[in-house]
Structure 1
Amino acid sequence: MAFQIEYWHWVVFGMLLILAELVLPSFTVFWFGLGAFLLAVLMWLQPDLSLSLQLVAWAVSSSLFALGWFKLVRPLMVDRTKAGIAREAVLGETGQVIQVPQPPRRGQMRFATPVLGDDEWEFICDEPVELGDRLMIVEISGNTLIVKKRG
């Protein structure tokens, strides 16, 4: 009696690989589990595939899933907001005045890309500013930016 791999073997193997991802911090084993699920569907549709063809199909599909993740999807998910970055990383960022300071109220400026999690900030500037002026961050004081006119 010869052992034959059935579609549900690939389902169980895929589940084990995806569960292994819980203890491995790489997020790569998941794609091999997904490849096993795809092969389970293929085996369900075509149950007489040879073992060598099954292994090749699993390796190719898993590699394509992983490649697709790392080359296509993951780059789209990069956080470009500078949130959580050290204060020094935002020094030199420029924004535009959207509200001129009028004592006792501080001015407001807006950034194209959020700075430290927000795209609008109160600011203090030693020079007079007008609506639409471009300002550069030179220091951060609590919830207020210290800025100067961009030269």
Structure 2
Amino acid sequence: MEFQIEYWHWVVFGMLLILAELVVPSFTIFWFGLGALLMALLVWLLPELTLNLQLVLWAIGSGLFALAWFRLLRPMMRDRTKAGISREAVLGETGQVIEAPQAERRGRVRFTTPVLGDDEWEFICEQPVEVGDRVVITEISGNTLIVRKR
């Protein structure tokens, strides 16, 4: 009696690999599990595939999934918030005044990409600024930005 790998073997193997990603959070095992699920589909459509060809196709498919992740998808998902980055990284960022400072309150500035986790900040500026003016971060003082007019 010869052992024949069925499509559901690949489904189970793929699911086990995907579940293993929960234990080993490297986000690489996932792609091998996805390759196994792809092989399940191929074996279901073409049941006459030999085991050797199945293994080669699984390796190629898994490699292509991993390559697509690391080369194409992952770079597009970069975190641009600059949260958790040192203050030197945000010095020089430019924003737009949305509330001009008054005698009793500070002004508010908005940034196109979040700075230190937020896109709006209170600010202090030595020069007079009005709504719509562009300002540049020169220093951080607690929860307030010190800016200069651009």
TM-score (norm: length of structure 2): 0.90
Q: Unaligned stretches of 5+ in structure 1?
A: none
1:6-45 equivalences in 2 (<5 Å): 6-45=6-45
Q: The residue matched to 1:21 in structure 2 has which SS?
A: helix
Shift of 1:29: 0.9
Moved more, 120-129 or 16-25: 16-25
1: CA distance, partners of 2:62 / 2:133? 52
- 1:121 is matched with 121
1:41-60 equivalences in 2 (<5 Å): 41-60=41-60
Q: Over the residues paired in the alignment, what is the CA RMSD in angstroms?
A: 1.6
Cα shift readout 1:78-112 (whole Å, capped 9, x = no counterpart): 11121222223212212122222111021111112
Q: The residue matched to 2:73 in structure 1 has which SS?
A: helix
- 1:79 is matched with 79
2: CA distance, partners of 1:55 / 1:136? 57
Cα shift readout 1:18-71 (whole Å, capped 9, x = no counterpart): 122222232111111111111111111221111121112111111121122122
- 2:67 is matched with 67
Q: The residue matched to 2:3 in structure 1 has which SS?
A: coil
Q: The residue matched to 2:127 in structure 1 has which SS?
A: coil
Q: Unaligned stretches of 5+ in structure 2?
A: none
Moved more, 130-139 or 109-118: 130-139
Q: The residue matched to 2:57 in structure 1 has which SS?
A: helix
Letter in 2 for 1:141: S
- 1:104 is matched with 104
Letter in 1 for 2:58: W
- 2:147 is matched with 147
Shift of 1:131: 3.0
2: CA distance, partners of 1:32 / 1:47? 21
2: CA distance, partners of 1:105 / 1:19? 53
